[in-house]
Chains A and B, each alone.
Chain A
Amino acid sequence: MRPMKYLAPLAAMAALLAFSGHASATNFSMACVEKYSDAGFPTSADVTRTCDATDGFGGWFNLFGQHALRFHWKNTLVWPRDYIEDSFAGGGDNIETDWSSADLNVFSGHGTCQNPPVATSGDFIVTAKPGASNFVNIGNSLRLGEFPGSGVFGNNGNLNTFMINASCPMDLVSLTTQWWQVFQGLHIAMGHSGDVSHDNLDSSSKLPTVGMYLAPPIFPLFAGNMSYRGAWMAAGLIDVQSQVCAVITATGRTESEAVSRRDSERPTGAIGDAMPPTWIAWRWVCKG
């Protein structure tokens, strides 16, 4: 018997998988709010297309059934604690957005904009739990993807990718003050930069188109499908006003790792977890 004859192909396969990183179905979750008035906001806070946007994204993203939708909370079922780090007061992200097997979360609803934002301006997503304080300050409250063994924030989160469809959740000028600390193992985040006069429109075209770019399963799976970067840069400017930018951010232990995540990570081709990050990489495209 020649064990090497059998071991060599297995070893090659293992090496290939290790190099290519995670390659399986994406556990994804979504949250959208249209009826803010049901949570006590004035009716003028209601929007009309944010849930159509997530419906369309999910329909496309999982068109071929290769992924797993864990939950799709809508309207008053979208709570602030879903996003707030569970070791912080009022937080419960460990059983929601940042649960132990989470890969992708999509939020579609309100953010807030400044005029203009400065380096210390807060970025927000706005949830809709009746009676709650629904303005979730991203820099203060979100800690996503706590890599097991990292020793921070309970080690119990595992979100890889966070996609936001809202007004101004990722302003360029405040990116490092509001987002760096969110990356506790989180690989990539996407959102928009703008101000009160330059807004990401309430639209049901942008997210579904992003989902369409990410839809087709391309074999072998480790080759992955379209990168998040490719989809977000190509479709992130659908229905935005001038001077709005679609932004994607990633972190890594080295510059090349952060850049590689930013540019190449795919739903079925995530680059393995690694902490702590020491580099942040950004990319954006702006409507002229």
Chain B
Amino acid sequence: MNHKTSIFCSILAALCLLMAGATAFAQVAMPKPRAVSDAERAELLRTLAAKFAVADGAKPELNAAGAYRFAGNADFLYVDRTDIGSFLFERASYGLDPKPIDEKEYSREVLLPRLQKALRKVAPTSEAPVFAEFQDEFAGAAPMKTGAAPIDPRKSAVHVARTAAFVREIDGIPVFGSELLAGLDRDGAIGRLRVHWPKVDAALVSDAKKLRELVDGKVWQPPKDLQDPDTKILEVRAGVGHSAFADPGFSSAAVVRVLARRSARGTEYPIASTSYRYFDRDGMEVFFSAFPDSGSSGRGKAREGELPLRH
């Protein structure tokens, strides 16, 4: 290769790297605010009326950013994603009734069938959601004086709402990141709903089954950095993982999810962190979540009214 060719190749390689960098940046950019088209406006109002009985006269404020669309007023918030079909609905009144819920009406036996009926209308899913747990909400208040005897809020609170959380499985393979959260208001209408149930490629389920065999057979082992004495592995499961509702991009993969707790030794007070980490078949870490790095304030710049600088 002569000198000119070498320079040309170097420039080409640099351009390729720049383009790759630009692509990576684009993948983690926040969605860009944009106008809501007339067609979208009509569609959103139809959806709100049909699924959540939002009256025509409610005149919600509509906003959009990339694939995300927002509708709301003082009474409710609705958000959806046009790219993967996820949506949420939250009524401002949900959980605000200070009277305790009727424990019989909100028992598992009564509530789950009611929820399933409501969900068939507003959030039909391709697979039957698996009930995971209830999220019970309590509220209370008490008069206080500095120095008074401590009050245990748990003894002075009312059970005001119960929301059901469901998880997802396809052919026995868990789908990490899918969400179905649903709660009924006192009038029986949907009060809280979050549906993040993106389409999962059948090939990923097939890959996850193979990964499960490797995990069950102890062929797949957690990476070395999880095998240090400060780390306790709490759970290892193979499945399909994907990005969260609020992740501006979207990716999915067959993964092994490891739940681990890492404790720091010798600190003044105990500190530990517990987290899910996702790995591929070869033990390479997989990330489903990314946001634009906003950097840190103050690097090379003084904080207001003080010197020296923090760098």
Contacts and interface: CB of A to CB of B under 8 A. Distances in A.
A148 to B, nearest CB: 19
A215 interface: yes
Nearest to A205: B244
A63 B140 contact: no
Nearest to A92: B306
B153 A175 contact: yes
B284 to A, nearest CB: 15
Interface stretch (A2-10, A154-162, A226-234): A226-234
B159 to A, nearest CB: 11
Contacts of A23: none
Interface size class, chain B: 35 or more
B152 A286 contact: no
B220 interface: no
B274 interface: yes
A198 B303 CA distance: 37
A25 interface: no
A91 interface: no
A174 B149 CA distance: 11
Interface in B244-270: 244-248, 261-270
B144 interface: yes
Interface string A199-234: 101111100110111011111000111110010011
Interface string A68-84: 01011111110100000
Contacts of A124: 269
Interface in A65-109: 65, 69, 71-77, 79, 95-96, 99
Given A176-B151, A209-B244, A263-B96, A233 B137 contact: yes
A153 interface: no
* Residue with the highest number of chain A CB atoms closer than 10 Å, among B152, B272, B275, B290: B272
Contact of B137 (A54, A204, A216, A285): A285
Contacts of B61: 216-219
A55 B72 contact: no
B270 A112 contact: yes
Interface string B288-302: 011111111111000
Given A56-B291, A173-B152, A282 B157 contact: yes
Interface string B219-250: 00000000010110000000000001111100
Contact of A60 (B30, B153, B276, B306): B30
Nearest to A259: B141
Contact of A172 (B133, B143, B154, B163): B154
A239 interface: yes
Given A64-B63, A135-B268, A258 B90 contact: no
B95 to A, nearest CB: 6
A111 B63 CA distance: 36
B70 A216 contact: yes
Contacts of B142: 176, 279-280
Interface string A36-69: 1000011011011101101110111001110001
Closest 7 CB pairs of A and B: A288-B133, A216-B70, A74-B296, A45-B264, A281-B141, A202-B275, A71-B297
Interface of B: 30-31, 33, 60-61, 63, 65, 68, 70, 72-74, 77, 79, 88, 90, 92, 94-96, 133-146, 148, 150-154, 157, 160-161, 163, 165, 179, 181, 192, 194, 228, 230-231, 244-248, 261-276, 289-299, 303-306, 310
Given A42-B265, A59-B30, 14 more contacts: A44-B228, A44-B263, A69-B294, A73-B297, A124-B269, A176-B151, A201-B274, A212-B68, A234-B181, A241-B274, A255-B141, A280-B141, A285-B135, A288-B134
